[in-house]
Chains A and B, each alone.
Chain A
Amino acid sequence: MAPTESVAGAAEPGVPNGAAGPDCVPDRGLDSALAAELWRGCDAGSWGLTRDEFEQILLDAGTAQNFGLTETAALVPVTRKQQMNFFRNLCVGDLALARACARGNERAWEHFIATFRQPLTRAAIAITGSEALGRDLADQLYAELYGLNVRDGQRRCPLLSYRGRGSLMGWLRTTLVQRHVDHYRRTRREEPIENFDAPAPDPPPQTPARELSLLEQAIEHAVSGRDAEDRYLLAAYYLDGRTLLEIARVLGVHEATVSRRLRRAEKEIRKQILKHLQRQGMSRRAAEEAMGADARDLEVNLKKLLQNSQSEAFQEQAAS
């Protein structure tokens, strides 16, 4: 087995060497002692991975995620402590298993099937609500994972996209859900239009058109001004119809916390709408009367408003 210094001594092009202190790992390489410790801890040798291959996998994962550091610190040498913090928060064992499976290691696949086959099938059945659909969904994912899909003459294994952030089982579940949701959305669009009843024509608005226009602007301004968490709470609760408990489980907080945050967000949105209307020249009483306008008279589509506004981070990802 190759020693660790081969990885530690490897230098990446364009990266200044020796710019850090004594604790820094030169050339953003992997600390040999840390790599040895992780190697022993995850039992990667059982999946047919050599130590060099394992260290290369870790290095690729760390580099791809910049060792958990911000973008501005990309060129700064990574210290051993930063590497340790990053890899300790990584599911190194699952990462090694996924990469071993992606390389077609039989022992790794046997272990993968023995460990994840049944839970994945149960998850697929739970997602689809049908045992037949669930098993089909799970089998389809297995076929993809095994690398049956070939792109540009090479096997494409989805396991290669797993970088150890979160558990492998969670990644598999989320991948299943993504497949199912995408399939559902695709097939839902194909539903015949005669199944939908034409909505009844709205009655003429009783609130003056100018006030309604000001109210729509105020709502858009207040909602867009909320932070990401408030917008998520509003969308999950009012648009998706999720319960407080479901939202709380996703966010990892208590149900009462979600309720309290929702009430606070509603109160602040109302306050901002009033302020915006008053800034537009309406009296407080007129603004409050405008707040009591029939929601059906408004042209504001909250769902469209929220879903059309993409976060900057993923816009940048899409642009790249």
Chain B
Amino acid sequence: MTATSQHELHPDAESLSAFSEQALSERERAEVLAHLAVCGRCRQVVALAREAAEAGAGPAAQPSKTIAPNAWWKQWRLVWVPAAVAAALAVTTISFVIERADQHGPDIKIVTQNPAQSTPPSSTSPPTEQAKLEPPAAAVPAPPPAHTAKHLPSAAAESLPAPVPPAMTAQMPSEPGASEPESADRVDVTREAQQAPHEEALQAPPEFAAGATRPAYSQPEAGAWEARQQQAEQQRQAEQQRQAEVDTSHMRSFKSKAAPAAVHEANAAPPAGATQTVTVAAAPPPETRPAAHAPGSKSPGTATTPAMPMQLPSGLAVVSAVSGGHLLLAIDEAGALFLSEDHGVTWERVATQWTGRAIALRQQGQFHGALYVAPSIQNGATGGSSANADLAPPVVAFFELSNDKNQTWVSTDGRTWTPK
């Protein structure tokens, strides 16, 4: 070999470049490969040229040895991004559920703790500071009387009139020294919370209200309402049945009073849009009822919402009702006044002692136990002296009846009415 220089012994740059680019013929390729097998320098040239060609597509200032970073979506750190989003979503959802549960919690708590916290009004001591802050036992509405639910047939229940209007008045037990407005407020709050599902479920759709001009609903909506109403009715009956089993002693006090057949018959429901003022005596808590309804004693006059509508002997809808003590007065659409002494189980019609058409009933004062005779009223009616009035017990409560001419009559027992 007569090599003039080391450089001349190697293939030129074009041959090596063409070898890397597979641009040589088979013969030329074999020659270059044979040289590469024995020449480390040319192997290094070919390898470096190949690396430079691969790095040529990258940035100018990036050496070939530098490993290009992976694509952003392949970086492992970004795996935590969807995981963090999912965790945040889960935490938010759980917080929202807990918050909603807390919002509904007080209602449930009041209803469930009602029997345990309630005490008979007769045995309650003067309210302490804590008692003033907490709702009184009697303020918690008791479930509707068991006998009402028991004697109401399902057909009558389905033809229930409109739910209790918001203008319903509530009367609290006449506990001496008790804060009546506060109790009344609490009654309203708890009553709304407790009755809201039933009111919503039992709210008749407009097309079921006779004589009412309401927008028509589609047939599927009516069917859905019927299904929802039946479901709510079943739940309500189950709840009443359970309450009835607990309140067996309360039921015994009404055993002797059989409801007339006419009451149990499902009459035409009153117009759903009729406004009624219903004030009934609420049943005391279950554990205090035996004492409160002992023979010879009268349940205190408490106000609550009757869960079941009143069925008057006339079959007409109630336009106004009021309760005091154990008395329950109601005026139907014809203006007839009815009196019930057993919380609406039996009714007797009161003879008309007023002029015009009776349209409204109100209660004045507080009924505490038995009704007191109001000498001032009677004296006003009979013209008695003021001396007798001083000897007579003070008037605690009385009923007022208004006719369509805005004239008022008063009564303490619901049977005898005198002009005011």
Whether a CB of chain B sits under 8 angstroms from the CB of A162 is yes
Whether a CB of chain A sits under 8 angstroms from the CB of B50 is yes
The minimal Cβ–Cβ distance linking B7 to chain A, given in whole angstroms, is 8
Contacts of A173 in B (CB 8 A): 17, 49, 52-53, 56
Within 8 A of A (CB), among B33-62: 33-41, 43-56, 58-62
Within 8 A of A (CB), among B1-35: 1-4, 7-18, 20-25, 27, 30-31, 33-35
Whether a CB of chain A sits under 8 angstroms from the CB of B255 is no
- Contact for B45 among A162, A178, A315, CB less than 8 A: A178
Contacts of A131 in B (CB 8 A): 61, 63
- Contact for A127 among B10, B23, B31, B64, CB less than 8 A: B64
Cα of A309 to Cα of B63 in the assembled complex, Å: 34
Contact with A along B280-309 (1 / 0, CB 8 A): 000000000000000000000000000000
Cα of A317 to Cα of B3 in the assembled complex, Å: 9
**Which residue from chain A places its CB closest to the CB of B25 in the assembled complex?**
A68
Q: Given A122-B55, A165-B14, A228-B34, does the pair A242, B1 have CB atoms closer than 8 Å?
A: no
Within 8 A of B (CB), among A58-88: 68, 70
Whether a CB of chain A sits under 8 angstroms from the CB of B65 is yes
Contact, CB under 8 Å: B20 / A315: no
Contacts of B55 in A (CB 8 A): 122-123, 126
Within 8 A of B (CB), among A86-101: 89
Contacts of B4 in A (CB 8 A): 318
Contact, CB under 8 Å: B43 / A129: no
The minimal Cβ–Cβ distance linking A309 to chain B, given in whole angstroms, is 5
When A and B form their complex, what is the total count of cross-chain residue pairs whose Cβ atoms lie within 8 Å?
A: 183
Q: Taking each of A165, A229, A239, A308, which has the highest tally of chain B beta carbons within 10 Å of its own beta carbon?
A: A165
- Contact for B48 among A118, A127, A165, A185, CB less than 8 A: A127
Whether a CB of chain B sits under 8 angstroms from the CB of A170 is yes
Within 8 A of B (CB), among A122-141: 122-127, 129-131
Contact, CB under 8 Å: B52 / A176: yes
Q: Is the interface of B mostly helix, strand, loop or mixed?
A: helix
Contact, CB under 8 Å: A174 / B37: no
Contact, CB under 8 Å: B17 / A174: yes
**Which residue from chain A places its CB closest to the CB of B51 in the assembled complex?**
A126
Contact with B along A105-147 (1 / 0, CB 8 A): 0000000000000110111111101110000000000000000
Q: Given A249-B50, A318-B8, does the pair A70, B63 have CB atoms closer than 8 Å?
A: no
Within 8 A of B (CB), among A301-320: 303, 306-315, 317-319
Contact, CB under 8 Å: B27 / A235: no
Cα of A177 to Cα of B18 in the assembled complex, Å: 14
Contacts of B51 in A (CB 8 A): 126-127, 246
Whether a CB of chain B sits under 8 angstroms from the CB of A175 is yes
Contact, CB under 8 Å: B23 / A174: no
Contacts of A239 in B (CB 8 A): 40
- Contact for B37 among A70, A176, A306, CB less than 8 A: A306
Q: Give 3 nearest A-B pairs by CB, closest first.
A: A231-B37, A126-B64, A228-B34
Show 8 residue pairs from A and B whose CB-CB distance is below 8 angstroms, ordered by the A residue: A121-B60, A122-B60, A123-B53, A165-B15, A173-B53, A174-B46, A228-B34, A235-B40
